[in-house]
Amino acid sequence: MPERTATIASRSGLHARPAALFAEAAGNAGVDVTISMQGEPAEEALDAASILSLMTLGAAKGDVVVLRADGDGADQALDSLVALLETDLDAE
């Protein structure tokens, strides 16, 4: 299954507005995307399109997370989501 790592760039971490923007993008990705903190088992990964899951993940600025997805267009979807996580969304 394709996977990518990304370092959270938003100042407030994956909370509030950055979490909302990311969850919305993951929901529109066309494939099911999961997210977990680096080092955690894949079976404990959470639904990346769920803002409530993202909030419970508690990823802060500088934390590394793993995104996973399967199926058609998974690689492309993961690349664009990594780019989103590595942008400081609080600055916009």
Q: Interface with other proteins by CB under 8 A: which residues?
A: 12, 15-17, 19-20, 23-24, 27, 47, 49-53, 55-56, 58
The string of DSSP codes covering 11-49 is TT-SSHHHHHHHHHHHHTSSS-EEEEETTS-GGG-EETT
Q: Give the residue with the Cβ less far from other proteins, 6 or 23.
A: 23
- Smallest separation (angstroms) from other proteins to the CB of 13: 9
Exactly one of 10, 15, 49, 68 is catalytic; which is it? 15
Count other Cβ atoms within 10 Å, centred on residue 91: 8
Task: Name 28's Cβ contacts closer than 8 Å, sequence gap at least 6.
Answer: none
Known catalytic residue at 9: no
The residue with tokens 């989501």 is 81
Q: Give the residue with the Cβ less far from other proteins, 9 or 16.
A: 16
Q: Give the residue with the Cβ less far from other proteins, 5 or 46.
A: 46
Residue numbers annotated as active site: 15
